[in-house]
Amino acid sequence: MPAETSHHLPVTIRVASTDGDLRKVLAVRAAAAGKSSTAAAPAPETWDQRPNATLLLAESRIDGEALGSLRILASERGRLMVEDRIALPASLKAVSVAEASGLAVKAGRNATLVRLMLWKAFHRYCLAAQVDTMLIAVREPALRQYEWLGFHDPQPAPVRFSADGTGSATHRLLTLGVFEAHERSLQGGHPLHDFFFVERHPEIDLLAPIESRRAGQRPAGAAVLPDHASIAAQLQQVAIV
């Protein structure tokens, strides 16, 4: 039986939908990179403004402090970031793909929880948007962390590349099927299976931009979920969230 709904996690996840939200995303990226709070505010990256981009924002439930962020790029609505560096394997060209990038988590006692909740929100987004495959590009030293979450090479030979297009390969392409994630976790007895696939976390709210629009707030460029009404209906039908 599914676990009882949790109402007590100290972190919330939502879609960055206003200019103020975008400033929070940029600030948490700077903090995660160890930049001084007195430094000039960074500008949004080009990929943040793409029509296929969605920015997730993690905040403290207590005081609203920005704790983390993650960018999602949907292949069905535009180009993926990795396509600037490599040609996607043929297997990925035949399916819908969502690429996660720009993961930033502020150091602190809840850093691990923030990271896990952002990954759960990414998976939940893919379920709602009917995406087939999750894709990430990771540095080789961090490979084991993502393999532990179920990600694997999209083809027998690993796909390695240089993030800046020059020098030796530093990154590796990894994928995970959206429904495969549940199957691998269940069969392997993953210690976080219940967290990702059984527990329902209302703290992860991907539909908040609907209310923001009704309230007349101006969205932050393209950083909102597409077709909110359709996604809202789909989320209500999804059993694994």
CA-nearest of 50, 57, 55, 56 to 75 is 50
Per-residue pLDDT tens over the stretch 155-197: 988 898 887 767 788 899 999 999 999 999 999 999 999 999 9
Give per-residue pLDDT as tens, 104-119.
999 988 999 999 999 9
CA-based torsion, 173, 178, 179, 185: positive or negative: positive
pLDDT band at 239 (very low <50, low <70, confident <90, very high): very low
Please list, residue by residue across 1-33, b when 16 or more beta carbons sit within 10 angstroms of its beta carbon and e when fewer do.
eeeeeeeebebbbbbbbbeebbbbbbbbbbbbe
pTM as predicted: 0.83
C-alpha–C-alpha distance, residues 143 and 71, integer Å: 19
Element (H, E) at 151: none
Q: Where are the alpha helices (DSSP H) in the chain?
A: 19-32, 90-93, 111-128, 143-148, 180-188, 193-197, 208-214, 228-237
Give the C-alpha separation, 64 to 77, whole Å: 31
Percent of the chain topping pLDDT 90: 56
Contact 6, 200 (CB under 8 A): yes
- In one-letter notation, the amino acid at residue 63 is D
Q: What is the tens place of the pLDDT at every residue in 94-149?
A: 999 999 999 999 998 899 999 999 999 999 999 989 999 999 999 888 889 999 99
Using pLDDT thresholds of 50, 70 and 90, give the confidence band for residue 41: low
Compute the distance between CA of residue 62 and CA of residue 108 in angstroms, rounded to an integer.
14
User: What confidence score (pLDDT) does residue 235 get?
Assistant: 43
